[in-house]
A = this chain, B = another copy of it.
Amino acid sequence: MNDDKAQIHDLLEVFTRALHQRDSAAAIAPLAEDAVVFDLAPPLRMGPEASHDPAILEAWFATWTSPIASRSHDLEVAVGGDVAYAYGLQHLTGTKADGAVVDLWFRATACFRRDAGRWRITHMHNSVPFAMDGSDRALLDLTP
């Protein structure tokens, strides 16, 4: 693996560890100042202000009683100059405040830019598909 790809993997690892520890500042630190996030939960689009707002992450972290564990599968990373992208499936597990046990596979895409020599996350897109059978149900029980 070349050095740039290793740095992208490291940056994603920083984010994953921040989720695990439910540390909002550590989760926001890897974001570029213009980061735009399309997340599992609404809104449709989180612009730079919302994506850097620790209160939004903390409200979500507060719904968990366990560490939030997230593991990457089939992660593909491509780097060109000061631009990179990564995509793969994430397996999210843990326990919510209401006792629910979460075991969720979702799709994750991240985009990166090297700013002043440091890779930053410019964009994250996390999702599950939905059933086109008229139920409009989000498909939270799919596995690879």
Contact = CB atoms under 8 A, between A and B. Distances in A.
B132 A41 contact: yes
A38 to B, nearest CB: 4
Interface residues of A, number: 44
Interface string A103-144: 001110101010000000011010111111000111110111
Contacts of A27: none
A6 interface: no
A78 interface: yes
Contacts of A78: 83, 111, 113, 122
A109 B109 contact: yes
Given A38-B107, A125-B109, A138-B130, A44 B81 contact: no
A40 interface: yes
A80 interface: yes
Contact of A128 (B44, B80, B82, B111): B44
A124 to B, nearest CB: 9
A89 interface: yes
B107 A109 contact: no
Given A38-B109, A41-B129, 4 more contacts: A36-B87, A42-B142, A83-B83, A109-B125
